[in-house]
Amino acid sequence: MDQQITPELRQWIVEQAQAGHSAESVLQSMKASGWDEDVAIDAMETTLRGHLAAQTAAGALPPAVPVPEPDVDDSPLYLDGGDRQVAVLTVMAAPRVVVFGGLLSDEECDALIEAARPRMSRSLTVATRTGGEEVNADRTSQGMFFQRGENALVARIEARIARLVNWPAENGEGLQILQYVPGTEYKPHYDYFDPKEPGTPTILRRGGQRVGTLVMYLREPEKGGGTIFPDVHLEVAPKRGNAVFFSYERAHPSTRTLHGGAPVIAGEKWIATKWLREGEFK
């Protein structure tokens, strides 16, 4: 068959995306009608990137999507995490930020650290072209990922998070554990994948965009290490057992979810991060 990427095909790809069909399902349709997988992926990537560039030039925002959201409308002091009552300490609307108290017990924090410790390796986070995403290159910056549901402790915490933020556990990435030593930081960045980056369509095939983040503090430093939101001059203290949740309904700075981990000044900071996707993360 002729594998030419015609204007009609481009238009069809854009229409599929606008109708809310996932990249994966569009790819399957194209393969089913005889397109070679590599040609189809290339056609989708170039078409959607071009479309996005045109939209951005016209000043349009990417469409908003549903996001995880804790039930905080009636100002509860606590939320039911299923197996644990979790305090609601701070609520902000824009950006949507909720600070939780006692999301994890001290024992759970310690157990996560001890389970992670033997598997920690240098966190050579992919340096995206924006340069904003890596933890400062210090020899001792280390991290690891747990598989989703990998052990009873991880599964229990994931079920609690799912209930607190009303989002399926299946849409979560595996828990990431990160250790910061003095002098290390996480420079301000967005957690969503930049639609303008060429690699983003491939990343989105696994569950779509990230739409929410929960950073849980496992071990508190003596000084420094807060989670900062520079656009709104907010700093969340990295108190053990507490957590900061934030969501972003579109992959755009208008969400004001620029955030970072301030430099640790003394002591060690350990965190567990749960990133939440639009769909099932396989």
Residues in contact with Zn ion, shown as a per-residue x/- string from 178 to 197 under the rule CB under 5 A: -------------x------
Considering only residues 220-279, where is the footprint of ligand PD2 by CB under 6 A?
227, 259-261, 271, 273
Report the partner that residue 108 touches, choosing among ligand PD2, Zn ion, none (CB closer than 5 to 8 A by kind): none
State which residue, 13 or 95, has the beta carbon closest to Zn ion.
Answer: 95
Q: What angle do CA 115, 210, 206 make, to 5 degrees?
A: 80
Considering only residues 80-99, where is the footprint of Zn ion by CB under 5 A?
none
State which residue, 185 or 191, has the beta carbon closest to Zn ion.
Answer: 191
State which residue, 191 or 194, has the beta carbon closest to Zn ion.
Answer: 191
Task: Please state the closest distance from residue 187 (CB atom) to ligand PD2, in A.
Answer: 9
Residues in contact with Zn ion, shown as a per-residue x/- string from 132 to 171 under the rule CB under 5 A: ----------------------------------------
Residues in contact with ligand PD2, shown as a per-residue x/- string from 150 to 189 under the rule CB under 6 A: ------------------------------------x---
Determine phi and psi for 280, rounding to 5 degrees.
-65, 130
Sole binder of ligand PD2 in the list 215, 216, 218, 234 (CB under 6 A)? 215
Report the partner that residue 273 touches, choosing among Zn ion, ligand PD2, none (CB closer than 5 to 8 A by kind): ligand PD2
Task: Please state the closest distance from residue 24 (CB atom) to Zn ion, in A.
Answer: 25
State which residue, 14 or 214, has the beta carbon closest to Zn ion.
Answer: 214
**Angle subtended by helix axes 37-57 and 23-32, to nearest 10:** 140
SS3 string, the chain, reads CCCCCCHHHHHHHHHHHHCCCCHHHHHHHHHHCCCCHHHHHHHHHHHHHHHHHHHHHCCCCCCCCCCCCCCCCCCCCEEECCCCEEEEEEEECCCCEEEEECCCCHHHHHHHHHHHHHHCEECCCCCCCCCCCCECCCCCCEEEECCCCCCHHHHHHHHHHHHHHCCCHHHECCCEEEEECCCCCEEEECCCCCCCCCCHHHHHCCCCCEEEEEEEEEECCCEECCEEEHHHCEEECCCCCCEEEEECCCCCHHHCCCEEECCEEECCEEEEEEEEECCCCC
Rounded to a whole number of angstroms, the distance between the first and last alpha carbons of the chain is 32
State which residue, 47 or 179, has the beta carbon closest to ligand PD2.
Answer: 179
Task: Please state the closest distance from residue 188 (CB atom) to Zn ion, in A.
Answer: 9
State which residue, 24 or 133, has the beta carbon closest to ligand PD2.
Answer: 133
Task: Please state the closest distance from residue 38 (CB atom) to ligand PD2, in A.
Answer: 32
Q: Which residues bind ligand PD2 (CB under 6 A)?
A: 186, 191, 213, 215, 227, 259-261, 271, 273
